[in-house]
Chain A
Amino acid sequence: MDKKKTILIIDDDVHIRRILEIKIKHNGYDTLTAKNGKQGLEIIQNQKPDAVISDLNMPRLDGKELCLLTNPLKKDRPFFTIIITARINPYEQKWIDEMQDTIFMEKPFSPSKIVDALAQYFEKTRPES
């Protein structure tokens, strides 16, 4: 039996944090939550989650800045990142494409789609036994 994966949820909206926490826990993962990018970065560095779900538009270090700071960490310890955003600006598409193991999902998203994406990633990256 694999060790439970830990998923970090970063969003300044309390309701989104809450619903994602419930949905992800129901699907057998452990969860961590952060109210903004700054808190999220600290958790990524200290608790090394297996995946990060982050809002793009946040106070105190937004989703883009968080990705740019955490992407280099993925060379040594790859982890999955889902960026939740209301809209991707045309001039912002480029930086997302340059991030490793990163996808984005537009609001309003379906919580089921989030867990599907997580399962797919972990399935793909599971070491051959």
Chain B
Amino acid sequence: MKKTKFIILLLFLLVIVGIVLISYAQFKKETLKDYRQTKESGQSLIGMLSMPSTASLLSGSGNFLFRELSQNALSNKIAYCIIHDAQRKPVLLFSPANIDQQVPDIIINKSLLESGFIMQDFFTTDGRELIEFAKPVFADKKIAAVVRLGLKVPDNNFFTYENLVLPSQIAFFILLALVFGYYWTILSFKHLKTIKLADVGTPGIKPGKGDVKDIIENLEVYLSSVKEKTSEAESRRQQLESRLKISQFENKQFFNIFNAFDFGILLIDNREMVFFANTYLLDLLGQSAEDLINSSYDEVIEHEDLKAFILQRSSAEGHLTSKHMNITFEKTDPGQFFQASSSNITDAEGSLFIRLIMVVNISREKESEKAQQDFISHIAHELRTPLTNIKAYNEMMMDGEINNAEMQKEFFNTINDETNRLAKLISSILELAESEMGQLTITKDMVKTDWLMEGCIEAVEAVAKEKNITIERQVPDNFPKVKGDKEMLKSALINILGNAVKYSPESATITFAIKEADDMVVFEINDTGFGMDEKDLPHIFEKFYRSENEDVVEQTGSGLGLAITAEIIKTHDGFIEVQSELDKGSQFTIKIPKGDLFIG
């Protein structure tokens, strides 16, 4: 409000100054006009007075002249009129108010001494402004007289009618404009009175009479409040903009991280729109990000199972639930299995704001699970087969179905053989378990290789003799020593030597050699037996693996022997290699670090 008052005051002052200036100009104009008129009048009058006839007036008809002058239209302007004779003495004097006596000498002298027309502007000793006109009167080419005429410069009063007419008109129009302006403003602002300013929550709004002052005051308060709020809004906008930028940056960073994951991620917002899908998932779906982002998942996801899973999870009750479903994708290999899981992510108030769908490749887990299941199945098969025989043969005997003595003997033998098979199998499984735990449990001693060789041959000798198989020894001059568990090492070598006997035809020869190579002791077992198919070689050390070769299938076996051997050799920091050709035989090479390395 103070500002408004100041502006109004300033305007008022400007108007006053304007009026004064205009009045002053008018006054100056009038003054100049009077001055000029006085000069012109003086010039013409002095012209008349200086006619040659004026000289004749000196003789005594001066009174007539002055009477004429006093009756002249300019008489009120004439201060004095003096005619000097040839000697410059005043001879005729017309000075109604004796003003002539106040004329400075310098003016008089100049008028009298000049021989031409003189006009001098001066102030009398009492401060009156006069113009003196002087002109000599010539007679017989000589100066016969000098006429001096003093005219008053009119006193131009500032406050005259002429001076005040124009400013008054201007002032009138300004006043008129103000009155009209005032009412126009009132009329213009009239509707503003209906605005309930208090409703906009602006403090400081006062109920008024509805005049301009109130409206302007209220508007001023309101506008200042609007300005304040605009400023607040601008500040908030800037804050939000910077937060948005930070958020966009963070989102981008997150998305880059998500894209680096080796599992699929799909984010669905609370409007059921796809918010993000990482490259892993896009590859699986065979769709592009443009296809999915900002579209309803129901419309854009082409994978029916995944879509059904998302729908199923969206209708599931409760938050923070996490369930999964196994799915496959056309684009991947048939053996690839995936698991989709869903998590509802809620904000601090517990409202769902995004759903996270993850698609993870579980092929390895599936494979591992299958391998585990297969292993259990193998063990079950291997254990239950002899058990089945024992049970079945025994049941038949008990039921009295076998009366023939020969057959009864066969049955008892079978039961006995199968019991031994079962016992051996259990031993093998235990041995395998022990060797797998070997790193932790075995105690290593110095083992003589001649002792190992003889022990192994002794173990298989009986069976070899039955098949008329010869075992040839190839030995070094000095038997080296190895460091290890002697029973385990013996068992490993017996498995190899036993297989050589088992899978060799009758009357075959097997070679058992011990050599030294660098820091290792090398055991080589060569046979000329059935050999192995190329396709079997990569699998022979796997648990329960058995070749489908007719000659192998004929022989009983658990498929654990070579797996146990490989595990024992590994435990002793050794290596096992095999070379084999079908129908020609096999060569197993086992390398174990020398014992003296350990004792330095």
Residues of A at the B interface (CB closer than 8 Å) are 12-13, 15-16, 18-20, 22-23, 26, 35-36, 56-57, 59-60, 84-87, 89-91, 106-112
- Interface size (B, Cβ < 8 Å)? 31
Which residues of chain B (404-438) have a CB below 8 Å from chain A? Answer: 414, 417-418
A110 contacts B395, C-beta separation under 8 Å: yes
Q: Contacts A15-B414, A60-B548, A91-B370 known; A112 to B399 CB distance under 8 Å?
A: yes
A86 contacts B383, C-beta separation under 8 Å: yes
Q: Which of B78-86, B190-198, B312-320, B372-380 contacts A (4 or more CB under 8 A)?
A: B372-380
Q: Which residues of B contact A20 (CB under 8 A)?
A: 392
Q: Contacts A26-B401, A59-B546, A86-B381 known; A108 to B392 CB distance under 8 Å?
A: yes
Q: Contacts A15-B414, A59-B548 known; A89 to B374 CB distance under 8 Å?
A: yes
A87 contacts B380, C-beta separation under 8 Å: yes
B548 contacts A112, C-beta separation under 8 Å: no
* Residue on B nearest A36 in the bound complex, by CB: B553
Q: Which residues of B contact A60 (CB under 8 A)?
A: 548, 553
A19 contacts B381, C-beta separation under 8 Å: no
Q: Which residues of B contact A87 (CB under 8 A)?
A: 376-377, 380-381, 384
Minimal beta-carbon separation of B400 from chain A (angstroms): 11
Alpha-carbon separation in the docked complex, A15 to B391 (Å): 12
B373 contacts A12, C-beta separation under 8 Å: no
Beyond A60-B548, A108-B391: 8 further Cβ-contacts under 8 Å? A13-B385, A16-B389, A23-B401, A86-B384, A86-B385, A91-B373, A108-B392, A110-B395
A16 contacts B388, C-beta separation under 8 Å: yes
A107 contacts B401, C-beta separation under 8 Å: no
Q: Which residues of A contact B553 (CB under 8 A)?
A: 12, 35-36, 59-60
Minimal beta-carbon separation of A23 from chain B (angstroms): 6
Q: Which residues of B contact A12 (CB under 8 A)?
A: 553
Alpha-carbon separation in the docked complex, A86 to B373 (Å): 12
Which residues of chain B (90-125) have a CB below 8 Å from chain A? Answer: none
Choose among B374, B388, B393, B414 the residue that contacts A107 (Cβ–Cβ < 8 A): B388
Alpha-carbon separation in the docked complex, A46 to B353 (Å): 67
Minimal beta-carbon separation of B393 from chain A (angstroms): 6
A108 contacts B393, C-beta separation under 8 Å: no
Alpha-carbon separation in the docked complex, A18 to B413 (Å): 13
Minimal beta-carbon separation of A35 from chain B (angstroms): 7
Alpha-carbon separation in the docked complex, A13 to B414 (Å): 12
Alpha-carbon separation in the docked complex, A16 to B417 (Å): 13
Choose among B377, B383, B393 the residue that contacts A57 (Cβ–Cβ < 8 A): B377
21 pairs of residues in contact across A and B, judged by CB atoms under 8 Å = A13-B385, A13-B389, A16-B389, A16-B392, A20-B392, A56-B381, A57-B378, A60-B553, A87-B376, A87-B384, A89-B370, A89-B374, A90-B373, A91-B370, A91-B373, A107-B384, A107-B385, A108-B387, A108-B388, A112-B395, A112-B399
Minimal beta-carbon separation of B276 from chain A (angstroms): 35
